[in-house]
């Protein structure tokens, strides 16, 4: 049975379906990026693999918070080299996809899921990875605009 990990990031409750995750680990040692890119915190090495660590706070539009002491949610294939930093897991609840409300499911969101007296915004990992790629492409384009490149 799939479960939903509920985290609190800034003012928002965010959910991660366990079927999309390869592992949950304490935040490994982070190595800063030589060139900053939108939403990327650092890289890390985990079990012989280089992981790109995403700053989940900025990705979802919340104020940046220190997540170096938090957890890393590493995605399952096809993106096992991508990990999302979260402060902690607030709750683990059964996840029934039929209860996922897809109203307003755009961008990185799969929809909202009812929990206690609130709605949890559920991440769509494929959409989040696509948004990161788009943000990086725009950043690279803006950094190289006006420069001549070898052909």
The distance in angstroms from the start CA to the end CA of the chain is 53
Q: Which domains does the chain have, with CATH numbers?
A: 3-144 (2.40.50.180)
- Residue in this structure with the two tokens 């788009």, named with its chain if needed: 134
The predicted-structure confidence for 17-52, as pLDDT tens digits, reads as follows 999 999 999 999 999 988 777 788 899 999 899 999
pLDDT (0 to 100) of residue 134: 86
**Does this model's pTM top 0.85?**
yes
Q: Look up residue 145 and give its DSSP letter.
A: T
> 135, 131, 94, 136: which is closest to 109 by C-alpha?
131
């Amino acid at each position: 049975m799939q479960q939903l990990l509920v985290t609190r990031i800034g003012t928002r409750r965010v959910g991660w379906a366990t079927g999309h995750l390869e592992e949950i680990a304490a935040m490994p040692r982070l190595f800063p990026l030589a060139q900053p890119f939108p939403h990327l915190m650092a890289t890390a090495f985990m079990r012989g693999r280089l992981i790109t660590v995403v700053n989940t706070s900025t990705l979802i539009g919340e104020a940046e918070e220190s997540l170096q002491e938090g957890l890393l949610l590493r995605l399952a294939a096809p993106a096992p080299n991508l990990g999302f930093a979260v402060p902690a897991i607030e709750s683990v609840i059964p996840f029934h996809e039929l209860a996922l409300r897809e109203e307003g499911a755009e961008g990185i969101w799969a929809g909202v899921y009812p929990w206690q007296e609130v709605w949890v915004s559920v991440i769509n990992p494929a959409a989040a990875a696509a948004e990161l790629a788009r943000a990086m492409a725009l950043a690279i384009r803006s950094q190289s605009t006006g420069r001549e490149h070898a052909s």
